Each structure stands twice: as structure tokens, then as C-alpha cells.
Amino acid sequence: MRKQKDTSSDGGEKIEQARLLVLHGPNLNLLGTREPRYYGSTTLAEINRALVQRAEGGGVVLETFQSNHEGALIERVHAAREQNIRYMIINPAAYTHTSIALRDAVAGSGIAFVEVHLSNIHARESFRHQSYFSDLAIGVVCGLGSEGYLLALEYLLRRIATE
């Protein structure tokens, strides 16, 4: 596995673990009780815990961030660039269909990402069929519920392992 290499002061090589960021958009803090027919009954805390545990097992550091505010999500993406985040998993929630500003932040970060949606946005209202993120994403997982996040993570762990 190619981890990020750094040269420490004693001249030896320090191996830095790859870092991932999972970004959750508005209303996803309500998972578990919010429209369970679309989003299931798993809470955001449960999803995040499973992701952090799986990432640890894969030797990767994973952070999660949820906000109901567009600006906060944009600023988190800006910070990710400074933090040397290798990949992101993003569920932009309703901002998927509206936010050119968040799209621009993600594009500007240069950080490759997988887009995730719990529900199948293509089987729902037509305004959900358009995503401002899909053409930038490595790939999109949608309609597989909370498992979609874990599948996206499995893909990224495998990808990191072969880099």
C-alpha cells in the first residue's frame, strides 16, 4: 500500500496514514426518523461509527462532517484541501440538486470523491434526477441505503491499497 511518505528530522521515513473525509449534507442529521421509507432507520451516528471502524481496520483515518448550512460544508471542503485529505465520500443531500457553490468548492479542492445517496434519486421526483456532482465524481452509489456509504468506502480502501 502506498501511504503518504514523509521524511522525518532523523532522516528516516515516516509513513502517514491516508485520510478520508465523509461529508453529509442538510437534514441527514435526522436519519433514523426522517422519512424511513426513503432513508431507512439507521441513524447518522450509526453510519459514521461503522465507517470509522471499517476505515481503522483498513489502516486509513476517516473523519465525518455533517451540516445543514451550505457555507459550513464549503468551508469544510476548503479545509480538507489543507489537511491533505486523499478522497472524500459526499452525500450532498438536497444540495445535490441546487448547489453550484458546493460543486465549485469540491471541484476547486481537486480531491477525488464518490457521491452517495441513500435513496434512488432517479426513481423519485424529477427535480432529484439532476446532480451538480455526478459528472465530477469517480462514481455514484445510490439507492442502496446506508450500505452505500460502506460500499463506497470499500472501493476507496481497495483503490488506496493499490496506489
Which is closer to ligand DQA, CB of 62 or CB of 118? 118
Q: How far is the CB of 82 from ligand DQA (least distance, A)?
A: 26
Residue 117 appears among annotated catalytic residues = yes
Kind plus residue range of the DSSP H or E element containing 77? helix 70-82
Of the residues 24, 87, 95, 117, which is catalytic?
A: 117
The reply to whether 67 sits near ligand DQA by the rule CB under 6 A is no
At what angle are helices 70-82 and 100-109 packed, to 10 degrees? 0
Maximum Cα–Cα distance across the chain: 59
Can 149 be counted among the known catalytic residues? Answer: no
Site for ligand DQA in 91-120 (CB under 6 A): 91, 93-94, 96, 117-119
Nearest to 74 by CA among 42, 103, 45, 48: 103
CB nearer to ligand DQA: pick between 18 and 23 = 23
For ligand DQA, which residue of 22, 73, 77, 121 counts as binding (CB under 6 A)?
121
- What whole-number distance in Å separates Cα of residue 156 and Cα of residue 38? 25
